[in-house]
Each structure stands twice: as C-alpha cells, then as structure tokens.
C-alpha cells in the first residue's frame, strides 16, 4: 500500500526535523525518514558533543589556573569518564526533546534508508520514494536533508583504530596519549584546542598556507598564536601527506624537506562531504556538483517539486544555516513569500578558548572582489571586561567607505560567539557604522568592543 503525503523529508537532522515541524505548523501532511536517530550529526556527533567536551577542557584549565585569581584548590585531576557521562547526558536530554517535538508535530516517522524511484514513476506533482526497499511513499513535495559525512583521505582511510574521523573521536572511551590532526579548518582547530586543554600533545598538519583558510587572515593568525601558546605544533603549507607503514606516523614535505610526525592517533579533519550518493538522484534528474545538490534561492533543485537543505547543499555546513534553509523550503512549498539569504551573512563560530566568530565578508574576499573597503580593529586589551576575564583578541570591522555600510565583522576572544549576533543583525538590517556606534551597549562587557570599532570607523574613538 502506497502512503501519500504533501511533503516527504529525507533525513532527520536539524534541517529535517525543522522542515517537519514547520510543515506541521503550516498544515501540511508530512513524513520524516531517518536511518538512525533524529537530531543528526550536530546533536549526536558534532556541535553538541564537541562543545560539551570543549567546556570540560576549559573548566579543567580554569581550575588548574585558579590560584592566579586568588582561589586555592587541590591539584586538578581529569576524569574523562565523567566528561563522557556529562556529554552523553546533554545529548540524551536534547535528543528526547527533539523526539518530543516531532511527535507533537504529528509527523509520520519512518526508520530506514530512502531512495528515489526512477523518473518513470515521478510526475510534476508526485514523487515516489522507497524506504528500505519494502515500503513505498508518495509525496507532492520532497525535502532532501541527508546531511554530510566525514571526508576521507585516500592515503589514510578511517579504520576507527589509528586513523579516526571526528565522528569516531566523540565516541572515544579514553583520551589518546598524543594526536596528529590532518586539517586545520574549524573541526581541526577545535579538536586541537580541546585536546591541548586536556594536556594532550597535538600536532596540526595543514596543506594551505594558514589555519582556518576560509576565515579572515587576522582570525587565522590569532588562532595559530593561541594554539601554539597551548603547546600545539602547527605545520602549514605542507604537501605529500601520507601515513607511514600502517602506523600512526605521518610523513609530509615542508619547505622541500621531508618531515615525520609520530603520535598515538591520527584525526583526519579535512571537512565533510554531502551525503547524497545513494539516493538515486540521477534517475530523477536532480543535478549535483559532485555530491552537492544544486538549488535556487527558494531551495528548489532542478526538479521543481524537490527541495534540498543543509549540508547536502553548497555553502557553510552549519546547523543554523540548515535550519533556515529547511524553513525557507517548507514555506515556499506552502505558497508563502520567501527571500534568499547571502551565505556570507550567516554567522560562523569556532568554540576554542579563546573563541573566534565572524559574519559577512573577509578582508581577503573583498580584496579579491576589488571592492573598496575600510578596516578598523579594536584590541580587547583596552576593554575592562577583557582584562577581568584575562582574554586577548580583537573586534575587526570592515565597512564600505562611501556608504559606511557594514561588510564584515570578525571577533577573537573569550565569549565572542555570544556577540556575533550583533553583526548578523546589523547585516540583516543593512546597518551603517554610525548606527553601530550609536547603539548603547552595557558596561562592562566584551560587546563594547564592537561599539568601539564602529566609533573608530566614524572618527570618534573613545577608549583608544
């Protein structure tokens, strides 16, 4: 028997369950297909467990250095079993919450893998999907939200032993004695900072000429300085990376010299790739660039009644981007007016200690576009709350010299991931540096640094 729906959603991560809940709110009969657990990578293997680990690592260092603040403690001891338990409790609590939300939305849930039936069974208004090859669903519209998976290196495939993915890392029962991280992007630097704060020796190997190559160069430099201060060894501009003799040793070339790094484990953190290869998309005419599904501003694929959201599409692989795309797709399906959103205007956060956060364009992107801009940077060393927190960093503001419109905001320092929303809102409303400078922000807070950078831009700096 074929079950029919207004909307069928493939994948139960944040894009998938957001689509399901929004569909219910708009009166659409929806089905959600998930092969594992709702919540997806972010909840079970990515954002949430890693941030729980990072918080424990931060607290461990705070306790070790408590004497500097006049607080005497016994020697700090790390119990990683307790760290794991706390992480699992947080994940389980949020998982139960997502399950409850989907149930409240009265969405039909199916457990299994989904594939599209050939386009002979697909019409303009109905698409047929097989679940586990034994159940058939028919939908007027489809949202593909199948997420992503860790990208492998052909020279060192994952084996869940010596060569690990970030998915494997969150399931470790014990901390390794030492780790080599291949890849200096967001995943790599977060794990490097966390492990270093757990007092684990870490080496990062990055082929590009700097860590975090997608971020503003000022962020890259500050992050490398911070990691090296924690004891992390950072190699950039390397080539010919290969595993040595089926061990955890890695050979590579740096400045035309062969180098060898030997640690207990290897974490390959070269990014994630869209998980779409087993959906049979070619058979129904959904076009891709590699595994990435091509979409328009309304999230439609090249087949108009089929939409896509989240990591299976282009752009930054961020949970908040995925949720926004899913909401946009469902609202368009329901006939509501929706607008596109510049991917660069989606805030990006890195939860190391200190943190980094950015929104808008980087200085390097503006230079490549040959777009006129001005940059003002306010150092945290002049901010009272930064001195209290004992954090270093900056607020860097990029703006149009003719209109004074904000073009980008890049922050480095403790708690800046909680501040970047100011920049995101400013870009959304097309705020100028004058407007940012006139906003009254509370004192003493780190957020005042954004206000101070804006005051620098309009020529009326106060605390510098």
With 0-12 / 13-18 / 19 or more C-beta atoms within 10 angstroms meaning exposed / middle / buried, residue 106 is exposed
Kindly state the average pLDDT of the residues 167-187.
97
The SS3 call for residue 238 is strand
Q: Which residues are annotated as a binding site for FAD?
A: 51, 146-148, 311
Find, among 221, 165, 227, 225, the residue nearest to 195 by Cα. Answer: 227
| Claim to verify: residue 265 and residue 296 sit in the same structural domain | no
Binding site residues, as ranges?
Answer: 51, 146-148, 183-190, 206, 271, 311
Taking the C-alpha atoms of residue 92 and residue 112, their distance in angstroms, rounded to an integer, is: 21
In terms of domains, do 307 and 287 share one? yes
Provide the pairing of β-strand 306-308 with 135-144.
parallel
pLDDT, one tens digit per residue, over 78-134 is 999 999 999 999 999 999 999 999 999 999 999 999 999 866 555 556 788 889 988
* Locus of tokens 């039936």: 117
Q: Which domain holds residue 8?
A: 3-149+273-333
With residue 163 as reference, give the H or E element that holds it. strand 163-164
> Domain tally for the chain?
3
Identify the CATH number of the domain in which residue 247 sits: 3.50.50.60
pLDDT at position 358, please?
A: 98
228 and 328 share a domain? Answer: no
Q: CA 310, CA 346: separation in Å to the nearest integer?
A: 13
236, 129: one domain: no
Q: Are residues 132 and 280 in the same domain?
A: yes
Active site residues: 443
Q: Does position 280 have pLDDT exceeding 80, yes or no?
A: yes
Q: Tell me the residue ranges of DSSP E strands in 362-415.
A: 374-379, 394-399, 406-413
Residues of the binding site for NAD(+): 183-190, 206, 271
Q: Within a domain: residue 131?
A: yes
Placement of tokens 């709350």 in the chain: 385
C-alpha gyration radius of the chain = 24
Question: pTM value?
Answer: 0.96
Tell me, yes or no, whether 181 and 84 share the same domain.
Answer: no
CA-to-CA distance for 431 and 313, rounded, in angstroms?
A: 29
Residue 109 in domain: yes
We report the CATH number of the domain holding residue 428 as 3.30.390.30
Displacement of CA 312 from its chain's centroid (Å): 13
Average pLDDT, the chain: 95
Do residues 324 and 425 share a domain?
no
User: Domain check: are 292 and 359 in the same one?
Assistant: no
* 17 and 140 housed in the same domain: yes
Please say whether the beta carbons of 145 and 274 come within 8 A: no
Q: Verify that 294 and 440 share a domain, yes or no.
A: no
Among candidate residues 235, 270, 305, the one where a domain is terminated: 270
Task: Identify the pLDDT of residue 402.
Answer: 96
Q: Is residue 156 part of a domain?
A: no
- Residue 347 within any structural domain of the chain: no
What pLDDT band is residue 165 in, cutting at 50, 70 and 90?
A: very high
Residue 281 lies in a domain: yes
Token pair 């080599």 is found at 180
What gap in Å lies between CA 37 and CA 46, rounded to an integer?
Answer: 14
Same domain, 145 and 283: yes
Say whether both 201 and 304 belong to one domain. Answer: no
Q: Is the pLDDT at 186 greater than 80, yes or no?
A: yes
Give the mean pLDDT of 306-323. Answer: 97
Terminal Cα-to-Cα distance of the chain (whole angstroms): 72
Q: What whole-number distance in Å separates Cα of residue 90 and Cα of residue 165?
A: 22
């Amino acid at each position: 028997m074929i079950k029919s729906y207004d909307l069928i959603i493939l994948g139960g991560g944040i894009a998938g369950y957001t689509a399901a809940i929004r569909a219910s709110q708009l009166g659409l009969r929806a089905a959600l297909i998930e092969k594992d657990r709702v919540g997806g990578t972010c909840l079970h293997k990515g954002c949430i467990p890693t941030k729980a680990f990072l918080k424990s690592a931060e607290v461990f260092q705070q306790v070790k250095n408590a004497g500097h603040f006049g607080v005497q403690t016994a020697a700090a001891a790390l119990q990683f079993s307790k760290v794991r338990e706390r992480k699992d409790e947080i994940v389980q609590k949020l998982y139960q919450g997502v399950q409850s939300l989907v149930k409240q939305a009265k969405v039909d849930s199916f457990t299994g893998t989904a594939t599209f039936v050939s386009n002979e069974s697909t019409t303009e208004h109905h698409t047929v999907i097989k679940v586990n090859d034994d159940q058939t669903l028919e939908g007027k519209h489809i949202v593909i939200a199948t997420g992503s998976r860790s990208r492998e290196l052909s020279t060192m495939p994952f084996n869940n032993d010596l060569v690990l993915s970030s998915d494997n890392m969150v399931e470790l029962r014990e901390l390794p004695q030492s780790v080599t991280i291949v890849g200096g992007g967001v995943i790599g630097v977060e794990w490097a900072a966390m492990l270093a704060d757990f007092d684990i020796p870490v080496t990062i190997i990055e082929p590009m000429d700097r860590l975090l190559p997608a971020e503003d160069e000022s962020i890259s430099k500050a992050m490398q300085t911070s990691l090296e201060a924690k004891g992390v060894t950072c190699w950039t501009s390397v080539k010919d990376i290969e595993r040595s003799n089926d061990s955890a040793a890695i050979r590579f070339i740096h400045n035309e010299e062969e180098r060898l790094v030997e640690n207990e484990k290897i974490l390959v953190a070269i990014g994630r790739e869209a998980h779409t290869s087993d959906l049979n998309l070619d058979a129904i005419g959904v076009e891709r660039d590699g595994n990435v599904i091509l979409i328009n501003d309304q999230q439609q694929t090249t087949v108009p009644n089929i939409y896509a959201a989240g990591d299976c599409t282009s752009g930054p692989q961020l949970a908040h981007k995925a949720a926004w795309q899913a909401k946009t797709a469902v609202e368009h399906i329901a006939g509501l007016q929706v607008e596109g959103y510049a991917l660069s205007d989606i805030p990006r956060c890195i939860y190391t200690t200190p943190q980094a956060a950015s929104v808008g364009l980087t200085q390097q992107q503006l230079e490549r576009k040959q777009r006129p801009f001005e940059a003002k940077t306010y150092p945290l060393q002049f901010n009272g709350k930064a001195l209290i927190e004992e954090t270093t960093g900056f607020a860097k503001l990029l703006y149009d010299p003719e209109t004074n419109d904000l073009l980008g905001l890049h922050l480095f320092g403790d708690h800046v991931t909680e501040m970047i929303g100011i920049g995101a809102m400013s870009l959304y409303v097309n705020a100028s540096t004058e407007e940012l400078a006139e906003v009254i922000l509370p004192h003493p807070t780190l957020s005042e640094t954004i206000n101070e950078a804006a005051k620098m831009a309009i020529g009326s700096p106060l605390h510098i």
